[in-house]
């Protein structure tokens, strides 16, 4: 048994390092070298939900929330979050984003909100993490702005719904 901090990262975490792109041969973290990859147009979309009480949804739709323009603020926060993805996610490349859109739609069937993001760049690596970050930060902002009136809210279902470009191709 190794003491905390002793040995290489691979030894400490039992990692198998061969074939893992974010670890070198000694098990140390590294950013993948994408300098030889061609810059192509890449897009990603993601979605998620914030479930809340029907009364909370009604308060937002009627403008009766203590913190003001909840949806507009959360959409802006999602954009800001996506632009900072490389600062939040270790080993994520900073990318020049050429399109970034966050949409939040009230949905009585949830009840709550559907959150959608679309991100585009022309670069050597994809923007899935930026789309996921946009949705996550928008959901967290909704939660923060509504927690005073609803402590039962649940953030969920955050997922990439599509991606285009790059070596791995388009999906779905």
Q: In the prediction, which pLDDT does 85 show?
A: 98
Catalytic choice (24, 33, 36, 144): 144
Q: Which fold has domain 37-163?
A: Alpha-Beta Plaits (3.30.70)
Q: Would you say 114 and 28 are in contact if contact means Cβ atoms under 8 Å apart? A: no
Strand partners, 40: 123
> Mapped to the 3 state alphabet, what secondary structure does the chain carry?
CCCCCCCCHHHHHCCCCCCCCCECCCCCECCCCCCCCCCEEEEEEEEEEEECCHHHHHHHHCCCCCCCCHHHHHHHHHHHHHHCHHHHCCCCCCCCEEEEEEEEEEECCCCEEEEEEEEEEEECCCCHHHHHHHHHHHHHHHHHHHCCCCCCCEEEEEEEEEEECCCCCCEC
Catalytic status, residue 144: yes
Q: In the prediction, which pLDDT does 17 show?
A: 44
Q: In the prediction, which pLDDT does 6 show?
A: 53
Q: In the prediction, which pLDDT does 15 show?
A: 44
**pLDDT tens string for the chain (172 positions)?**
445 555 554 444 444 444 557 677 777 887 788 888 889 999 999 999 999 999 999 999 999 999 999 999 999 999 999 999 999 999 999 999 999 999 999 999 999 999 999 999 999 999 999 999 999 999 999 999 999 999 999 999 999 999 999 888 898 8
- What residues does each domain of the chain span? 7-34, 37-163
Q: In the prediction, which pLDDT does 97 show?
A: 98
The pTM of the full predicted model, rounded to 2 decimals, is: 0.85
């Amino acid at each position: 048994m190794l003491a905390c901090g002793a040995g290489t990262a691979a030894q400490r975490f039992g990692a198998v390092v061969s074939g893992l792109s974010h670890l070198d041969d000694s098990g140390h973290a590294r950013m993948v070298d994408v300098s030889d990859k061609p810059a192509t147009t890449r897009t990603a979309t993601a979605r998620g939900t914030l479930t809340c009480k029907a009364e909370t949804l009604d308060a937002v739709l009627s403008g009766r929330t203590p913190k003001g323009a909840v949806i507009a603020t959360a959409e802006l926060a999602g954009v800001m979050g996506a632009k900072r993805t490389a600062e939040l996610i270790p080993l994520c490349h900073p990318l020049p984003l050429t399109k970034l859109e966050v949409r939040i739609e009230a949905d009585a069937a949830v009840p709550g909100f559907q959150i959608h993001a679309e991100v585009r760049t022309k670069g050597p690596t994809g923007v899935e993490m930026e789309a996921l970050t946009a949705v996550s930060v928008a959901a967290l902002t909704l939660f923060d702005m509504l927690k005073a009136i609803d402590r039962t809210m649940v953030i969920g279902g955050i997922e990439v719904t599509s991606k285009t470009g790059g070596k791995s191709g388009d999906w779905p």
